[in-house]
Every structure is written in C-alpha cells, then in structure tokens.
Amino acid sequence: MAQPNKAATKSIALNREARHEYFIIEALETGIELKGTEVKSLRKGAVNLKDSWIDIEDGQLLVKGMHISPYEQGNIFNQEPTRPRRLLAHKSEIRRLHQQCKLQGYTMVPLSLYFKQGRVKVELGLCKGKKLYDKRADAASRDAKRSIDRALKSNGRYY
C-alpha cells in the first residue's frame, strides 16, 4: 500500500473502520477541492471520515458523507459540513477506477486525510468488502501474533 512520506506530511484523520471492513486492493493519493474555511477546520482536526465513500459522477471523483465541522470564526464563509467534495485526479486514473468498480464490484473509500507540503491530500482505497469470516480470521491472526510477541518478550529472548 502507498504510504505518504512521513517527513513531509502531517496526518489529519484516518479511517480505521475502512481497514476493518474492506480488503484494500490499491491505494491512490489525490488532491481535494475545498472552499472557504474548510482548511482551517482541517488544521484543527475537525473532520470525520467514518461514514464517507467515493463516487464517480460525470467523470469526476466525489467524496460523499465526509463531515468537516464548520470553523467557529468563519461566520458566513462556512460551507455545509457534509457537502460532496471533488477529488483531483487524472482523467485516465478516474476511468481506470470506474472500470474496476463496474467490472469487479470494488468500492472506493477515503483511507486517510493529510497535509503534504501545505496541501490537503486524500488517500483513497480501491477496496473489496470483507465477509464476517474474513473479519474473524483477521482478529484471530492479530491475537495470535500479539500472544507470540508477549511470550517472546516475557522470556527476554528473541529467536
């Protein structure tokens, strides 16, 4: 998965539920079109990605359901908190993502929101939904790894 360069980025929000609910096939970095005081709200961390998804309409990527709280000092310049926001990507990337969603039944969700060199970026994930047994298997493997690490740490030796 593509991880942003930690030295030049500042994380705003993560969508932890997306990693629990979906297998992430591919990750892609895009820009986002913001208006008014939304960037100031993002600098305060007033955003919720939990119930958001990405849709393609008229050849444009749109984030829907992302909640950016209004900026307190923004008065008339504030925007609607859950309005659809356009993502900035190349036309060829949008076409490819649209084909993958149509043909293979994938969905797109925002994985994280971060500042990169002063600009707000969205890491979007092309995802496939997990079944209940997949979630259980992930939890079991995570618990097994945790118990192995705990046992090795208590012995004081690493093999």
Domain presence at residue 138: no
Domain presence at residue 60: yes
What is the domain extent for residue 83?
9-131
Q: Going along the chain, which residue ranges are E strands?
A: 9-14, 22-32, 47-48, 53-57, 60-64, 67-68, 85-88, 107-116, 119-129
Residue 130 has pLDDT above 90, yes or no: no
Domain presence at residue 143: no
Residue tagged 């030295």 (tokens): 7
Residue 125 pLDDT class (50, 70, 90 cuts):
very high
Q: Tell me which of 63-77, 109-123, 136-150 is least confident.
A: 63-77
Number of domains in the chain: 1
Strands 22-32 and 67-68: unpaired
Domain presence at residue 146: no
Domain presence at residue 53: yes
> Where residue 25 sits, what CATH number does that domain have?
2.40.280.10
Domain presence at residue 150: no
Q: Is pTM, for the whole model, over 0.75?
A: yes
For 14-33, what is each residue's pLDDT tens digit? 998 888 889 999 999 999 99
Domain presence at residue 153: no
Q: Which of 41, 21, 36 is nearest to 110 (CA)?
A: 21
